[in-house]
Copies of this chain bind each other. A is one copy, B any other.
Amino acid sequence: MLADLRDTAPLVQCITNVVVSNFTANVLLALGASPAMVDIPGEARQFAPVASGLLVNLGTPTGSQRDAMLEASEAAADAGTPWVLDPVAVGFLSIRTGTAKLLVTRRPTIIRGNASEIIALAGAGEGGRGVDSLDEPAAALEAARLLASLHGSVVAVSGAVDAIVAPGDAVIRVANGTPLLTRVTGGGCALGAVMAAFAALTPDALLAATAATGIYTQAAESAAATAAGPGTFAPLFLDALAAITPDDVVRGLNLSAGA
């Protein structure tokens, strides 16, 4: 799928937060996809049908962006554009939580979040403090299964081990990665954009989310091996995303499947 992505350069529309928009675009470019940060009302609706994939990330949801999210997700659903919902910091914060609960009813292709966010989106918890997760990935599995069966979405729960849950209860776990991804802002958010890029390549959303996670976390491992800290890690990670080969991915993947 990585060769396929580089051949086709899927066009990923990103409606994402201002903190990570630059990093997200650079992650997509490094990997070989094509970012399009089209996030204003009017244009968001117009673009979603021609995009290869769409990311909706709730990190800094201004009124203008919330309008753009609602119209883009609707247009994506109508046009069959796969889309990813990242419910950043939902739970305690009421405005984004309301928006996320509306968006999720539009059956995102993939939902991506940390344990606290997935639990809160499923209505089972208060969420974390800001973007940090206070809940264990294991505790989030039940919430992920609920969301997957209610909305037909694949649900990816990030953590030391990432768990990816499909409707019907298949679970894939990816144990690659590095704690440095949590020391760079956007480490999780940009993965959502990569999932949208892979979802453009296959109708199998479980495969798309797993491929995205495996490639992303292994590039991160490779960068962490030479980084001296979180500052030098970020550019080395982008280099690794550009350099990683399908063979590297197969060789290093630490994956297990279960129920």
Contact = CB atoms under 8 A, between A and B. Distances in A.
Interface stretch (A111-119, A170-178, A230-238): A230-238
Contacts of A64: 62-63
Contact of A93 (B35, B47, B229, B239): B47
Given A29-B184, A231-B239, A19 B37 contact: yes
Nearest to A182: B29
B26 A185 contact: yes
Interface string A103-147: 000000000000000000000000001111000000000000000
A41 to B, nearest CB: 8
A225 interface: no
A3 interface: no
A231 B243 CA distance: 11
Contacts of A11: 129-130, 132
A34 interface: yes
Which of A13, A20, A39, A238 is the most central at the interface, judged by chain B CB atoms within 10 Å of its CB?
Answer: A238
A211 interface: no
A127 B42 CA distance: 18
Interface in A40-71: 40, 42-43, 46-47, 50, 59-64
A21 interface: yes
B95 A42 contact: yes
A75 interface: no
Question: What 7 pairs between A and B have smallest CB-CB spacing?
Answer: A231-B238, A229-B239, A36-B130, A231-B235, A25-B185, A231-B239, A229-B242
